[in-house]
Structure 1
Amino acid sequence: MNGGSFRRHRRLRTSAGIRNMVRETHVQKEDLIAPLFVKEGEGIQTEVPSMPGVYQWSLDLLDEEADEIVALGIQALIVFGIPSSKDSCGSPAYDDNGIVQRAVAQIKERHPDLTVIADTCLCQFTDHGHCGVVDNGIIANDPSLELLAKTAVSQAKAGADIIAPSNMMDGFVQAIRSALDEAGFVHVPIMSYAVKYASAFYGPFRDAAHSAPSKGDRKTYQMDPANRLEAQREAASDEEEGADFLIVKPALSYLDIIRDIRNHHRLPIVAYNVSGEYAMIKAAAANGWIDEEAVVYEKMLSMKRAGADLILTYFAKDIARSLTR
């Protein structure tokens, strides 16, 4: 057959060297954000049953985990707090001596060059498990903004490099940006959970963070998984209000949304590879059904290929180890 009658695409796949030369998408350690669960108490290093390899840490053991993250070359982590007590308005979230604030300060003192992100929400700190103030069974949007702003300022005072509000209240970016600026934290960026779906993939996280709602669900403030255009409206609002990063959560079932946001926005995009996505791969690997390392890397590539600049993932340490080899 005449070699000119069709294209020889396989020429660029003939060796590992050539494949490496033409590879379009890469996953690097600098792309990764490692989650960290910090819990009140002492001597706590408790593995989350539904998330093998993920632990809750007390402050007295926290340095061990932070040291390993830094040693692996991961440059950013996000802190989720588990308080010893909760109340209806989530006051431990904005307590200057709260668990997140103390964890942030401790990590920054030991690792000043590590980028420490504070998850800014109320759900782990409210006795009802919702991300805002509950008034007669309704999640009250505007009263919640004041508490979220107080939380963000408290976290910035503790030394957080980035504030990451995850509550999906309307106007939350504007409220937090104004509060940070007024408190003198004009340099602290906001990594907004701009596009956060009411997903079934969050179950293991709620086990880890003790944040499941006691009544009802979060469908009145998190997005309907069926909606695509709504994601554009949410992201546009957050950018207009002053967001510096845009998170899409979850990642794997929403790669089309990541691509849509990438096509319309020039802010850095963060894909949140959530707990349920992590747990499924871990379970399949434990049963010998998949090659975990290969599948994880392929999934990370899919997020980067879709348009994500950064990936928040419970696989961060595993990926960093594989990239080191």
Structure 2
Amino acid sequence: MMPPTREKADLDFLAGKRLRRTRQTGWSRAMVRETDLTARDLILPLFILEGENQREKIATMPGVERLSIDLAITVAKEARDLGIPALALFPCTQNDRRTEDGRESYNPDNLMCQALRAIKEAVPDIGLIADVALDPYTSHGHDGLMNGDTILNDESVAVLIKQALNQARAGADVIAPSDMMDGRIGALREALDADGFENVILLSYAAKFASAFYGPFRDAVGSGARLKGDKKTYQLEPYNREEALREVEQDLLEAADWVMVKPGLAYLDIVREVKDQFDVPVFAYQVSGEYAQIEFAAAAGALDRDAAMMESLIAFKRAGCTGILTYFALDVARRLRR
């Protein structure tokens, strides 16, 4: 979108104006602040682990842990009390339940469904966003079914539908397909409506790029070491802007309620384009690699962790984000409350 044209009289006026005046004091800077970040802008991702009173550190994501469901409930209560409106859940499926066909994804008693039911019962007033994809359940680490080296689109969508219906029955408020299979939004909407879940929100990972920044996440859900090849045949080329916008448009036409851009910081231009062109709720994911960059750089003394954390999230809001998935959510919400 082109900036508005300045008339010559306006430029003459600006030529004599000292723009620094309003920056001289904290109160004046606060009064003219154009972007605000609040706890309600944040979504906290949680990695769910089998067992009770279990927590596991993730070496590539300092400060982030896999949590058993009972500990996740404790975190959910704190998030609610801090004003964070929603959690995004990701299971770390047991090794012996990962198969070529990812059938654990639609087991009604899988780890994800157990977590959804337990958290919804214990903390009914926080939103639950359920990831829909096959990579936490497949032995090959891909988001869809495979035939040799080929990802099968329509066959994968059929499995995603079964997965999403179980998640909705378990208490998911938002179904968030992150797989990037063609046509899955329309198919999921139709299936959810037919099963009585007309009010379940569809948050589409509409512009998900084949990024180098996902590595720590794949470690967290246990799919990284399993991944055969790469995901470039279904995730977007980082070089492509127009293609990303076509993906967003297609998902909106298929009845996506909200759309996601992933990763975040490296793709804020796409966030702004989506907001300007479609004027819909647009979310972005400050992904694991982006989070880890700040943590490791701060640990090395290269930057101020808290300042970089806040600046990075303000950039998301300034670009037009309705909400941000971030592993910093609890830290930021505590800081804002102070």
Q: With structure 2 as the length reference, what TM-score do the two structures score?
A: 0.93
**Structure 1 pair 10–220 and aligned structure 2 pair: CA distance change class (3 A):** same
Letter in 1 for 2:245: Q
Task: Give a deviation string over 1:157-211, Cα, whole Å, max 9, x none.
Answer: 0010100000000011011111101111011010100000000000000000112
What is aligned with 2:4? none
Superposition CA RMSD, Å:
1.3
Q: C-alpha separation between the residues in 2 aligned to 1:324 and 1:109?
A: 26
Within a 5 Å distance, the mapping from 1:131-280 to structure 2 comes to 131-212=143-224, 213-280=226-293
Letter in 1 for 2:289: G
Number of residue equivalences: 323
Classify the secondary structure of the residue corresponding to 1:56.
strand
Which of 63-72 and 233-242 deviates more? 63-72
Alpha-carbon shift at residue 113 of structure 1 (Å): 0.6
2:87 equivalent among 67, 73, 77: 77
Instruction: Give the structure 1 partner of residue 52 of structure 2.
Output: 42
Q: Structure 1, residues 52-104: CA drift from partner, whole Å, max 9, x if none?
A: 11110122433222222223221110000112211111111111101111101
Aligned residue for 1:190, secondary structure, equals strand
Structure 1, unaligned runs of 5 or more? none
| Pick aligned residue for 2:69 from 43, 56, 59 | 59
Between the aligned partners of 2:141 and 2:172, the Cα distance in structure 1 is 24
Taking the aligned partners of 1:83 and 1:200, their CA distance within structure 2 comes to: 23
C-alpha separation in 2, matches of 1:5 and 1:172: 54
Partner AA of 2:283 in structure 1: V
Q: Which stretches of structure 1, 4 residues or more, deviate above 3 A after TM superposition?
A: none
User: 1:21 is matched by which residue type in structure 2?
Assistant: M
Q: Percent identity?
A: 48
TM-score w.r.t. the length of structure 1 is: 0.97
Residue aligned with 1:152, SS:
helix
Mapping for residues 79-158 of structure 1, pairs under 5 Å: 79-84=89-94, 85-158=97-170
The alignment partner of 1:89 has SS state of coil
Alignment partners' CA distance in 1, 2:306 and 2:18:
31
Distance 1:288 1:321 in 2: 23
Q: 1:25 aligns with which of 35, 59, 69?
A: 35
Distance (Å, rounded) in 2 between the aligned partners of 1:270 and 1:36: 17
| CA distance 1:167–1:9, shift in 2 (3 Å) | same
Candidates 9, 32, 45, aligned match of 2:19: 9
Q: Structure 2: any 5+ residue segments left out of the alignment?
A: 1-12
Alignment of 1:302-317 (within 5 A): 302-317=315-330
